[in-house]
């Protein structure tokens, strides 16, 4: 069973964009120059992959989207961490009507364009938009959809080459006190039902070989000792991501040379949240299937 929506991008909120960008470069990622959202007012630094991208989001004091600013202040009073996930959309307007009809408290499409510095010089403007579905009771389980009328301004081959040989994000991991509490909400935003569901784990799978997973807190601790618990008394939130890499040996060399602590298993290498703005990063083999 697959969802109709695929993973688009992933938002990690940080209090200092410069330090965050440097931290992800130490992990072997190519991090784009810091850019400003023209309409929203926030800034970000992007790590591009083949089909998705990671967004390090900061400059909250300049945010001109009041609901977004309020939500971020509540979620991250003094620490960095995983915020929320965006799913693909061909066009947001019909999505808005469908989600409203499904009973989702969805916000109108919001411009998220920014000026992108090209690797060879010059600039290109994106035309991206986002549409937020805030989860009032569990704000860090909020989700949204995005459309990109100018994909050539989002995915740029030179920025997709990483020293650690990363290819793409394959799984986003959450932990929750109650893994079933947001299944309907996630399913509606992803246009699908879980492929697996138990008391310890819920798994949504996309047609592109990706997954969104919600783990019971104790189950997450057993699988990833790097995860020590939910932040800020929240009942649920994103805790990490699995990223396919062409060579785990190359990942290990990059981390070793940068002095980044990591745990090596038979088929993965895990970087702790202390070195990735509050989430663990799990590098997996290219053939890995969630």
**pLDDT at residue 104 greater than cutoff 90:** yes
Mean pLDDT of 3-28: 96
Q: Name the pLDDT band for 144 (thresholds 50, 70, 90).
A: very high
pLDDT for the residue numbered 21: 97
Q: Are strands 53-58 and 7-13 parallel, antiparallel or unpaired?
A: parallel
Q: Are 116 and 124 in contact (CB under 8 A)?
A: yes
Mean pLDDT of 154-166: 96
Pick the range with the lowest mean pLDDT from 48-52, 106-110, 252-256: 106-110
Share the mean pLDDT of the chain.
94
**pLDDT at residue 5 greater than cutoff 90:** yes
State what percent of residues in the chain have pLDDT above 70: 100
Q: Are 7-159 and 162-285 the same fold in CATH? A: yes
**pLDDT at residue 166 greater than cutoff 90:** yes
Mean pLDDT of 77-94: 96
**pLDDT at residue 71 greater than cutoff 90:** no
pLDDT for the residue numbered 80: 97
Q: Name the pLDDT band for 112 (thresholds 50, 70, 90).
A: confident
pLDDT for the residue numbered 198: 97
State what percent of residues in the chain have pLDDT above 90: 79
Q: Name the pLDDT band for 123 (thresholds 50, 70, 90).
A: confident
Q: Are 182 and 136 in contact (CB under 8 A)?
A: no
Task: Answer yes or no: CATH 3.40.50.1220 is held by domain 7-159.
Answer: no
User: pTM value?
Assistant: 0.95
Q: Name the pLDDT band for 261 (thresholds 50, 70, 90).
A: very high
Domain ranges of the chain: 7-159, 162-285
Q: Name the pLDDT band for 192 (thresholds 50, 70, 90).
A: very high
Q: Which residues are bridge partners to 10 per DSSP? A: 54, 85
**pLDDT at residue 58 greater than cutoff 90:** no
d(Cα 48, Cα 162) in Å, to the nearest integer?
Answer: 9
How far is CA 10 from each of CA 13, 45, 130, 196, 256, rounded to the nearest angstrom? 10, 12, 12, 22, 26
Q: Name the pLDDT band for 111 (thresholds 50, 70, 90).
A: confident
Mean pLDDT of 176-188: 97
Residue-wise pLDDT for 21-41, tens only, equals 999 999 999 999 988 887 787
pLDDT for the residue numbered 100: 95
Name the architecture of domain 162-285: Roll (3.10)
What count of other Cβ atoms lies within 10 Å of the Cβ of residue 7?
Answer: 27
Write out the chain in H/E/C secondary structure: CCECCCEEEEEEECCCHHHHHHHHHHCCCCCCCCEEECCCCCEEEEEECCCCEEEEEECHHHCCCHHHHHHHHHHCCCCCEEEEEEEECCCHHHHHHHHHHCCCCECCCEECCEEEECCCCCEEECCCEEEEECCCCCHHHCEEEEECCCHHHCCCHHHHCCCCCEEEEEEEEEEECCCCCCHHHHHHHHCCCCCEECCCEEEEEECCCCEEEEEEHHHHHHHCCCCCCCHHHCCEEEEEEEEEECCHHHHHHHHHHHCCCCEECCCEEEECHHHCCCCEEEEEECCCCC
Q: Name the pLDDT band for 124 (thresholds 50, 70, 90).
A: confident
What count of other Cβ atoms lies within 10 Å of the Cβ of residue 217?
Answer: 19
């Amino acid at each position: 069973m697959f969802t109709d929506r695929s993973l688009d991008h992933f938002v990690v909120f940080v209090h200092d964009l410069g330090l965050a960008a440097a931290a992800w470069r130490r992990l072997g990622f190519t991090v784009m120059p810091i850019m400003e959202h023209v309409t929203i007012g926030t800034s970000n630094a992007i790590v591009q992959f083949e089909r998705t991208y990671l967004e390090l989001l900061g400059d909250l004091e300049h945010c001109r989207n009041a609901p977004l600013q309020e939500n971020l202040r509540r979620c991250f009073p003094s620490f960095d961490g995983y915020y929320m996930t965006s799913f693909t959309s061909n066009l947001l307007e019909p999505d808005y009507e469908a989600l409203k009809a499904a009973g989702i408290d969805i916000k109108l499409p919001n411009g998220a364009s920014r000026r992108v510095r090209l690797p060879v010089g010059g600039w290109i403007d994106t035309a991206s938009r986002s549409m937020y579905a805030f989860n009032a009771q569990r704000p860090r389980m909020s989700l949204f959809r995005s459309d990109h009328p100018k994909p050539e301004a989002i995915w740029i081959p030179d920025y997709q080459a990483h020293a650690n040989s990363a290819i793409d994000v394959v799984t986003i991991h959450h932990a929750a006190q109650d893994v079933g509490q947001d299944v309907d909400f996630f399913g509606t935003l992803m246009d699908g039902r879980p492929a697996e569901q138990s008391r310890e784990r819920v798994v949504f799978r996309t047609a592109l070989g990706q997954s969104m997973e919600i783990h019971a807190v104790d189950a997450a601790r057993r699988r990833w000792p790097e995860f020590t618990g939910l932040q800020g008394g929240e009942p649920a939130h994103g805790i990490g991501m699995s990223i396919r890499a062409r060579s785990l040996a190359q990942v290990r060399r990059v981390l070793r040379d940068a002095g980044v602590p990591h745990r090596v298993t038979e088929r993965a290498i895990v970087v702790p949240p202390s070195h990735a703005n509050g989430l663990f990063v799990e590098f997996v083999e290219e053939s890995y299937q969630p």
